[in-house]
Amino acid sequence: MNKIFSLIFLLSISVAHAQQKPNIVYIMADDMGWKDAAFMGSDFYLTPHLDQLAKEGMVFTNAYAGAGNCAPSRACLISGQYTPRHGVYAVYNTKRGPVDQMRLEPIPNSNELAPSVYTIAEALHDGGYKTAIFGKWHLGSRAGTFPRDQGFDVDSSFNPPSEKYFRETNDPKGIYRITNGACAFMEQNKDRPFFLYVSHHATHMPIQVRKDMQDLFDNRAGQLQKNKRFAGMNAQMDDGIGQLLRKIKELGLEDNTLVIFTSDNGGLPQSPQDPLRGFKGMYYEGGIRVPLIAKWPKHIKAGTKQETPIINADMFPTFMEVSGTKIPNTKTLDGKSLLPFFNQPDLKGDQAIFWHFPGYLDNPNPGSRDNVFRSRPVSTVRKGDWKLLLYHEEWVLDGGLAKIENNKSVELYNLKDDLSETKNLASIHKEKRDELLKELMSIMKNTGASMPDTKNPQYKSAAP
């Protein structure tokens, strides 16, 4: 009998210890730009729930997606690694656009996260967490690559809702389908630690919005008046997020839950990102800089801001440290834990962050480097206030380092003084250029990043 009581006592201690681990709720918007919320300075959008979340947590003003568009950025989040390690560089392929204007043959793209990748969900599952995804996956659609194969106990992922679904349910982008499922999951698992990935399809095209939400913008002034349907879709997503946050509070989980809100890449041309240059798909600020809020009562001081540049690959080590989960020795992570920033709002980090896109992306938008491609092959590094972009075509074909003064392969910007990236300082601040170029090359070597090095035989002439 004493042995039974001892066993019960030990089990109760084990359960209590497990519940001390914080829940983790990661909310990701789709294509929501850095300026697409009131807490980021917009005077047009209505995002009251995100604004309140920002007041209750910490806003990272220099937060970045892992890539300029959906799939590679999500792969960086789930793997905790930069693009060269997992090989997801683009959506569909890296050869998008007029082939006769491509000077190089791009590096091939993977459309799925390899089953061999040890994911953030697998790590948290192994650490005692119940794991779930609701919404967009975008990292594989064959056996072995679905969320259930990659560490999620509950897989409620689905493709973007059709117009027919919207008309029949009045649920734009499946916002409430995602939200209701996530709330039910938390209800069912409130007595154990859980990792919840809430992955919205909004605010990706096409625009889908309830009329009542669109009507909110009928009498609002501002530069986005012509896009009030887009603003209504944005507000509808905020409404779903508000429902989710209320559920956390109702369940009594607020104090023990780390909530992160962010986006998978920069904004769309439908929503100006001034003063940032460019939009989704580019590696200028408008394509990769995103809003990010972290709330964790008793650990993060409400109403604080952190200016250190961070990237979504930082989430993996952050969640490991927050949860006390051990990372296998065989797992390589490219990010760094954000926990020190949570505890010390004034702390300044000096880590470099990195992007690698060895391909071509069509449909140029305002801010593009030329009028043919949204992005050409490029590797990018940011460290402190400085950012360097290395364009592969000029580097590989026009003399590389030996001709760096004239081949236009490098762009260097001081983001503190020039957030719009209008003044290329590569020929002025040569010492900083060379310092960041060396840093970039070191990261490329460490991650196994390859530049395309084969001339495209179909190339005809330089783009105007």
Amino acid sitting at position 288: I
Question: Burial level of 352, CB count in 10 A (0-12/13-18/19+)?
Answer: middle
Q: Which residues pair with 55 in a beta bridge?
A: none
Contact 368, 349 (CB under 8 A): no
As given in the structure block, the two tokens for residue 259 are: 């909530």
Q: Alpha carbon of 41 to those of 36, 217, 230, 278, 414: distances in Å?
A: 8, 17, 17, 18, 22
Q: Count the alpha carbons within 13 Å of 432 in the hemisphere toward its beta carbon.
A: 19
**∠ at Cα 75 (196, 449), nearest 5°?**
150
Stretch among 17-26, 107-116, 327-336 having the lowest mean pLDDT:
17-26
pLDDT in tens, 303-343: 999 999 999 999 999 999 999 999 999 999 999 999 999 98
Residue 462: the pLDDT is: 56
pLDDT band, residue 11 (cuts 50/70/90): very low
Tell me the C-alpha distance between 360 and 106, whole Å. 7
Beta carbons within 10 angstroms of residue 52's beta carbon: 14
Residue 22: the pLDDT is: 98
Tell me the C-alpha distance between 407 and 114, whole Å. 37
Stretch among 169-178, 215-224, 387-396, 452-461 having the lowest mean pLDDT:
215-224
pLDDT above 70: residue 44: yes
Average pLDDT of the segment spanning 95-113: 97
Stretch among 108-112, 270-274, 381-385 having the lowest mean pLDDT:
270-274
Estimate to the nearest angstrom the gap between the alpha carbon of 118 and the chain centroid: 19
Of 223 and 155, the structure prediction assigns the larger pLDDT to 155
For residue 329, give the DSSP letter: T
pLDDT above 70: residue 19: no
pLDDT band, residue 13 (cuts 50/70/90): very low
pLDDT band, residue 5 (cuts 50/70/90): very low
Q: Which residues pair with 387 in a beta bridge?
A: 382, 413
Average pLDDT of the segment spanning 352-381: 97
Average pLDDT of the segment spanning 378-403: 98
Residue 422: CB partners within 8 Å, gap ≥ 6?
277
As given in the structure block, the two tokens for residue 156 are: 């409620």
Question: Which secondary structure element, helix H or strand E, spans residue 311, and what is its range?
Answer: strand 310-311
What's the chain's average pLDDT? 93
Residue 133: the pLDDT is: 98
Residue 349: the pLDDT is: 86
Tell me the C-alpha distance between 267 and 33, whole Å. 3
- Of 122, 233, 124, the closest CA to residue 174 belongs to 233
As given in the structure block, the two tokens for residue 140 are: 């594989």
- Of 235, 228, 211, 226, the closest CA to residue 38 belongs to 235
Contact 353, 285 (CB under 8 A): no
pLDDT in tens, 123-144: 999 999 999 999 999 999 999 9
As given in the structure block, the two tokens for residue 120 are: 């953030």
Residue 224: CB partners within 8 Å, gap ≥ 6?
44, 45, 230, 231, 271, 272
Tell me the C-alpha distance between 294 and 61, whole Å. 11
As given in the structure block, the two tokens for residue 352 are: 């470099």
Contact 120, 80 (CB under 8 A): yes
3-state secondary structure of 153: coil
Residue 345: the pLDDT is: 86
Stretch among 39-48, 113-122, 410-419 having the lowest mean pLDDT:
39-48
Residue 14: the pLDDT is: 44
Q: Report phi then psi at 85, rounded to 5.
A: -75, -35
Residue 226: the pLDDT is: 61
Question: Which secondary structure element, helix H or strand E, spans residue 7, and what is its range?
Answer: helix 2-20
Residue 139: CB partners within 8 Å, gap ≥ 6?
71, 74, 75, 78, 88, 112, 113, 145, 150
pLDDT in tens, 396-448: 999 999 999 999 999 999 999 999 999 999 999 999 999 999 999 999 999 99
- Of 299, 463, 306, 363, the closest CA to residue 69 belongs to 363
Cis peptide before 172 (omega within 30 of 0): no
Residue 20: the pLDDT is: 84
Residue 221: the pLDDT is: 64
Estimate to the nearest angstrom the gap between the alpha carbon of 92 and the chain centroid: 18
Residue 86: the pLDDT is: 98
> Cα dihedral angle (308, 74, 258, 241), rounded to 10 degrees?
110
Contact 156, 150 (CB under 8 A): no
Tell me the C-alpha distance between 224 and 217, whole Å. 9
As given in the structure block, the two tokens for residue 294 are: 């972290």
Q: Report phi then psi at 77, rounded to 5.
A: -65, -50
pLDDT above 80: residue 464: no
